[in-house]
Amino acid sequence: MAKDTPQTFYLKDYTPFGYDVESVHLTFRLTPETTRILSRIRFAPKPDATDSTFFLHGEDLTLISARIDGQAVTPDLVEGGLKCEVPGTPFTWEAEVEINPAGNTALEGLYMSNRMYCTQCEAEGFRKITYYPDRPDVMSTFTVRIEGDEPVMLSNGNPMGQGEGWAEWHDPWPKPAYLFALVAGDLVNYAGAFTTRSGKEVELNIWVRPGDEGKCAFGMEALKKSMKWDEDVYGLEYDLDLFNIVAVDDFNMGAMENKGLNIFNSSCVLASPETSTDANFERIEAIIAHEYFHNWTGNRITCRDWFQLCLKEGLTVFRDAQFTADMRSEPVKRIDDVIALRARQFPEDGGPLAHPPRPEEFQEINNFYTATVYEKGAEVIGMLKRLVGDDNYYKALKLYFERHDGQACTIEDWLKVFEDATGRDLQQFKLWYSQAGTPRLKVSEDYADGTYTLTFEQSTPPTPGQPDKAPRVIPVAVGLLSPNGDEVRATEVLELTEAKQSFSFDGLAARPVPSILREFSAPVILQRETTNAERAFLLAHDTDPFNRWEAGNALAKETRVTMVLDGDAPDAAYLDALEKLVRDDDQDPAFRALVLTPPSQADIAQTLHERGFTPDPQKIYDAAETFAQTLAQQLETSLPRLYAATTADGAYVPDAEGAGKRALNGRILSLLTRLDGGDQAARQYAAADNMTQQYAALAALMKAEKGAAQSQAFFDQWQDDRLVMDKWFALQIACAAPEKTAATAAALTRHALFDMKNPNRFRAVMGALAGNHAGFHHASGEAYQLLADNLIALDTLNPQTTARMCAAFQTWKRYGTGRQSLIRAQLTRIANAPDLSRDTTEMVTRILDA
Ligand code: PHE
Ligand code: ZN
DSSP letters spanning 678-700? THHHHHHHHH--SHHHHHHHHHH
Q: Which residues are catalytic?
A: 291
What is the Cα gyration radius of the chain?
A: 27
pLDDT of residue 4: 55
CA of 288 to the centre of ligand 1 (A): 12
How far is Cα 37 from Cα 30, in angstroms, rounded to an integer? 8
On whether the CB atoms of residues 134 and 59 are closer than 8 A, the answer is no
Report how far residue 171's alpha carbon sits from residue 159's, in angstroms, rounded to the nearest whole number: 9
Cα of 712 from ligand 2 centre, angstroms: 38
Please enumerate, as own/partner, the contacts of 525-534 that have beta carbons within 8 Å and a separation of 24 or more. Answer: 525/346, 525/438, 525/439, 525/440, 525/441, 525/610, 526/441, 526/443, 527/440, 527/441, 527/442, 527/443, 528/442, 528/443, 528/444, 532/558, 532/571, 532/573, 532/574, 533/573
* Nearest alpha carbon, ligand 1 atom 3: 256
Give dist(CA 77, CA 60) in Å, integer.
Answer: 12
Low-confidence stretches of the chain (pLDDT < 70) are 1-5
For residue 320, the ligand closest to its alpha carbon is 2
| Class of residue 504 by CB neighbours under 10 A (exposed 0-12, middle 13-18, buried 19+) | exposed
C-alpha of 543 from chain center:
30
- Which ligand lies nearest to the CA atom of residue 258 in the structure? 1
Query: How many residues can be counted in the chain?
Result: 850
CA dihedral 282→398→522→773, nearest 10 degrees, is: 30
Report the residue among 113, 119, 120, 122 best suited for mutation to probe ligand 1: largest number of ligand atoms under 8 A from its CB: 122
Q: Which residues contact 52 (CB under 8 A, 6 or more apart)?
A: 18, 19, 45
Q: Which of 128, 257, 259 to mutate to test the pocket of ligand 1 (most atoms within 8 A of CB)?
A: 257
Ion ligand 2, residues whose Cβ is below 5 A away: 313, 316
Ligand number nearest CA of 264 is 1
Residue (of 332, 435, 432, 352) closest to 387 by Cα position: 432
pLDDT of 238: 98
Q: pTM for this one?
A: 0.98
Return the pLDDT at 850: 82
Q: What is the pLDDT of residue 649?
A: 80
573, 533 Cβ separation under 8 angstroms: yes
The predicted pLDDT at position 648 comes to: 81
Distance between CA atoms of residues 591 and 663, nearest Å: 10
- How far, rounded to the nearest angstrom, does the alpha carbon of residue 737 sit from its chain's CA centroid? 28
The residue contributing the CA closest to ligand 1 atom 5 is: 256
Residues with CB under 6 A from ligand 1: 120, 122-123, 253, 255-257, 290-291, 313, 369
Q: What is the 345 CA–ligand 1 centroid distance (Å)? A: 18
Rounded to a whole number of angstroms, the distance between the first and last alpha carbons of the chain is 25
The sheet that has 166-175: what strands, in order across it?
71-72, 62-68, 91-99, 35-45, 19-29, 140-147, 166-175, 158-163
Distance 267 CA to ligand 1 centre (A): 14
**Ligand 1 pocket test, candidate residues 107, 119, 256, 366, most atoms within 8 A of CB:** 256
Residue 291 alpha carbon, nearest atom of ligand 1: 12
Ligand 1 center to residue 123 CA distance, Å?
A: 8
State in Å: Cα 317 to ligand 2 middle: 7
Whole-number Cα distances in Å, 610 to 235, 438, 483: 44, 12, 31
Count of C-beta atoms within a 10 Å radius of residue 645 = 15
